[in-house]
């Protein structure tokens, strides 16, 4: 999740048009489109396989302090707490932030090619593994915490998470699980115009359950098989219906920036950031804020930074800000981190591929899309949909993505194009077996029901 820092005073929001213009300012010409990859990892004590607390000589704070000392990261603080890391001005590398339960996240820099994404991801993993080895800390790449209870999971000292922790149980059954026990891979991609945004948003929303199926890796809860292939995805269905889901209005006539703004205006807020503090306004709408009707801030009206903050608290399957954020994938290791970005870049960044993907999904109804979203967390590639299977849909989507990556003609020093990063998904789709299936087989076979083996065999 985003980390707010104090900066220059943001312009006030004077009308709805300002909100629309803020999103529209994200438009970029095709030669400026970039790839921003985010990935979260569970952090555990290698000796005890317990979660890592924030404080202490081998805690999350110590991990970040060693990253600062050894690799020249700079701290972002909230009071006396280090809550994130950034690179010095002018240096590449993105930012490192903490999710609510201590999940360690790299939000990568906007990069031109998937080869750069692969290098950035590998460099980050090299750094955290180097520091983690000295501290007895390991990193696990799956979609849901496989062993720890909610009560055992630590809470990171970020003010915004305290607001969300209070509010989540009032609007859904699984919001705290979402915050504290899930991990994901995401990719942020650009659009060139309002029409381009709409087409990409429609295609990526429709195909997001296919990505969920391909990346399913969360079949365990508290050391037992939970009956899902992607429990992380199922948890989102029971988090907060006002701010999650498949956004059926996106497929209606008249969709554009204004329609998304109207949706966001009515999604309940969590907080307002003022002078280093997160003020709890949970349940109020941004419309209330624009009219000066927040009980906690009477008469106060929003700035564009407040609008930006609010958009980060909407959690649909694809999120629109000044870019599009793909949100359907469980966490995974290096090959799958790169594969997620490759899957979506291939589909969305080539016009021929984008047209083919739209042809694939354009006849699906809102009910079809909801059905697909509902069945995939449990069955993944085994799910049946209309007159086909999710496995076949995944193979078709991967062929389209492969075409798009071929057409991009981005070649690395080994004379390889970007299609190399799709290989793990192509093998998986051909076999019809997800990482979740592999995990279940190992749990029921050689692991003999002992979940502890996952921390060795599926750690980074």
Q: Could you tell me the residue ranges of all domains in the chain?
A: 16-267+314-457
Query: Which candidate, 207, 227, 138, places its Cα nearest to that of 393?
Result: 207
Query: Which candidate, 71, 118, 59, places its Cα nearest to that of 96?
Result: 71
Return the CATH number of 16-267+314-457, one of 3.30.590.20, 3.10.20.310, 3.40.50.300, 3.30.930.10. 3.30.590.20
CB contact set of 155 (below 8 Å; sequence gap of 6+): 54, 100, 101, 161, 165, 180
pLDDT score recorded for residue 9: 83
Residues 399-413, buried b or exposed e (16+ Cβ, 10 A)? bbbbbbbbebebeee
Quick one: tokens of 203?
A: 């295609």
Distance CA(441)–CA(458), nearest Å, equals: 14
Return the residue matching tokens 């026990």.
181
pLDDT score recorded for residue 93: 80
Q: Which of the residues in the chain have pLDDT under 70?
A: 1-7
Return the residue matching tokens 């990261």.
73
**Which runs of E-coded beta strand occur in 247-342?**
271-274, 277-280, 293-294, 297-298, 315-316, 318-320, 324-330
CA neighbours closer than 13 Å in the CB half-sphere of residue 355: 3
Distance CA(73)–CA(71), nearest Å, equals: 6
pLDDT score recorded for residue 441: 98
**Collapsing DSSP states into helix, strand and coil, what is residue 176?**
helix
Read off the pLDDT of residues 91-109 as tens digits, 9 standing for 90 and up. 888 999 999 999 999 999 9
What are the C-alpha distances in Å from 459 to residues 267, 348, 428? 37, 31, 19
Return the number of other C-beta atoms located less than 10 Å from residue 127's C-beta. Answer: 18
pLDDT score recorded for residue 136: 98
pTM of structure: 0.97
Strand bridging mode 315-316 / 244-245: parallel
């Amino acid at each position: 999740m985003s980390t707010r820092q104090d900066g220059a005073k943001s312009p006030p929001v004077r009308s709805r048009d300002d909100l629309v213009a803020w999103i529209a300012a994200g438009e970029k010409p095709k030669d400026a489109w970039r790839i921003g990859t985010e990935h979260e990892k569970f952090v555990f004590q290698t000796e005890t396989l317990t979660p890592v607390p924030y404080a202490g000589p081998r805690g999350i704070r110590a991990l970040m302090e060693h990253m600062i000392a050894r690799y020249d990261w700079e701290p972002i603080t909230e009071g006396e707490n280090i809550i994130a890391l950034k690179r010095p001005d002018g240096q590449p590398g993105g930012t490192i932030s903490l999710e609510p339960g201590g999940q360690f996240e790299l939000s990568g820099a906007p990069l031109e090619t998937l080869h750069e994404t692969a290098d950035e991801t590998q460099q980050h993993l090299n750094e955290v593994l180097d520091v983690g080895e000295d501290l007895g800390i390991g990193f696990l790449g799956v979609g849901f915490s496989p062993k720890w209870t909610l009560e055992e999971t630590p809470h990171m000292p970020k003010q915004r998470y305290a607001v969300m922790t209070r509010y989540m149980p009032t609007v859904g059954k699984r919001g705290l699980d979402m915050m504290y026990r899930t991990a994901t891979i995401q990719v942020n991609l650009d659009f060139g115009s309002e029409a381009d945004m709409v087409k990409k948003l429609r295609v990526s929303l429709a195909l997001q359950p296919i990505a969920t199926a391909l990346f399913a890796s969360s079949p365990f809860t508290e050391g037992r098989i939970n009956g899902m292939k992607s429990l992380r995805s199922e948890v989102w269905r029971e988090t907060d219906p006002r701010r999650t889901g498949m956004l059926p209005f996106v497929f209606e006539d008249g969709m554009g920036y204004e329609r998304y703004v109207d949706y966001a205006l009515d999604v309940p807020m969590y907080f307002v950031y003022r002078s280093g503090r997160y003020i709890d306004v949970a349940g109020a709408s941004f419309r209330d804020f624009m009219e000066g009707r927040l009980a906690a801030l009477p008469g106060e009206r929003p700035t564009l930074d407040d609008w930006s903050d609010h958009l980060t608290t909407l959690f649909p399957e694809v999120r629109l800000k000044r870019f599009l954020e793909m949100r359907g994938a469980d966490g995974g290791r290096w090959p799958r981190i790169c594969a997620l970005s490759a899957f979506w870049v291939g589909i969305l960044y080539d016009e021929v591929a984008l047209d083919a993907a739209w042809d694939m999904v354009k006849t699906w109804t809102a009910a079809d899309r909801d059905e697909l979203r509902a069945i995939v967390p449990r069955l993944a590639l085994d799910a049946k949909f209309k007159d086909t299977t999710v496995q076949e849909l995944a193979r078709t989507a991967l062929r389209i993505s492969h075409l798009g990556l071929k057409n991009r003609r981005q070649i690395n020093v080994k004379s390889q194009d970007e299609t190399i990063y799709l290989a793990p998904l192509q093998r998986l789709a051909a076999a019809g077996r997800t990482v979740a299936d592999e995990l279940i087989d190992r749990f029921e076979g050689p692991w003999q029901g002992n979940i502890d083996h996952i921390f060795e065999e599926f750690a980074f």
